[in-house]
Structure 1
Amino acid sequence: MQRRDPREWMLAEAVELLQTADRLQRQFFQIGQVAESPCWEPPVDMYENGRVLGLLIALPGVAPEQFEVTLEQQTIVVRGERALGASFGPGAILRLEIPYGRFERRIDLPEGDYRLVEMQLENGCLRLHLEQLT
């Protein structure tokens, strides 16, 4: 059995920690931004099927009245706020990986004119269907 060089796994672990720190920094801190500015961007999946665009936006713990969706030319904008710890009550935070606070996601759409046909929030994800106009 061949032994692994400890420098290899230490380097791999250090790179993973740096990537995690970078992700958390991008989620929670934006240098030079005012308090009202969004502090995180929800992840998005986008797919196309003919003239229909589908978007799936992860918004865990966000109620329908806590966000808005607007269509601005070639961009769809989802913005709102996720309250901190409303579901757990008082206590010490041991780990905080799901982002809280104001959010905004601007998603550039493929060429064409679109209209929002359907919007559905289920299982912590916002599903949008856009139809390309002729």
Structure 2
Amino acid sequence: MAKLHWTPWMALAEIEGRTECGLDQIAQGSRDCAPVWQPAADLVETEDAFRVTLELPGVAREDVAVEVRGRELIIQGLRRFEKDCRGEVYHALERSYGPFARVFELPQGVSRADVTAVMKDGLLDVRLPKLGPERLRRRIPIS
């Protein structure tokens, strides 16, 4: 049996292969690929809405999709690595690149039809308005 001499470069090559596969899937229009990283998120409840804010610096608006599926809010997209590495040697590369995804379960009483999303200054702000009390409970007149 041959002995395998593992090096950290082997792990990096595997990560690179998975990232390229994910980027190819995104480029072909598939958004159902495995996420490589998850952006930080804040979840806030106000009197009339829930807000989800994600940190997405360096992510283009066109590379982000926000969906409501059933009882879930799904935010996914891609941060592209656009540096030309020829002639450069990176000593540290700490920022994450590639596909990302976050899934949040919607609480009761959210108006799914009125969800809005705004992206500004590297922050994606998704507003999920609450249904008014009159819409949650309605008395049916008897004739």
TM-score (norm 1): 0.66
Q: Which runs of 5+ in 2 are unaligned?
A: 1-14, 16-20, 23-32, 136-143
Please state whether the residue corresponding to 1:94 is helix, strand or coil.
coil
Please state whether the residue corresponding to 1:65 is helix, strand or coil.
helix
Of 95, 101, 109, the match for 2:92: 95
Instruction: For residue 117 of structure 1, report the CA deviation from its aligned partner.
Output: 3.6
**Structure 2 residue 111 is the aligned partner of structure 1 residue 114:** yes
Instruction: For residue 122 of structure 1, report the CA deviation from its aligned partner.
Output: 1.2
Q: Which runs of 5+ in 1 are unaligned?
A: 1-27, 29-33
* Structure with greater strand percent: 1
Runs of 4+ deviating beyond 4 Å: none
Matches within 5 A, 1:1-134: 35=22, 36-84=33-81, 86=82, 88-90=83-85, 91-115=88-112, 116-133=114-131, 134=135
Instruction: For residue 47 of structure 1, report the CA deviation from its aligned partner.
Output: 0.6
CA shift in 2, pair 1:125/1:96, >3 Å? same
Task: Report if the CA contact (8 A) 1:81-1:103 is conserved.
Answer: yes
Which one has a bigger Cα radius of gyration?
2
Task: Report if the CA contact (8 A) 2:110-2:128 is conserved.
Answer: no
Deviations, residues 65-102 of structure 1 (Å, cap 9, x unaligned): 01100012221111111111x2x433222222221001
Please state whether the residue corresponding to 2:39 is helix, strand or coil.
coil
Q: 1-side partners of 2:99 and 2:43: how far apart?
A: 22
Q: 2-side partners of 1:131 and 1:80: how far apart?
A: 23
Instruction: For residue 42 of structure 1, report the CA deviation from its aligned partner.
Output: 1.1
Task: Report if the CA contact (8 A) 1:58-1:125 is conserved.
Answer: yes
Residue-pair matches, total: 102
Amino acid at match of 2:92: R
TM-score (norm 2): 0.62
- Calculate percent identity across the aligned residue pairs: 29
Instruction: For residue 119 of structure 1, report the CA deviation from its aligned partner.
Output: 1.3
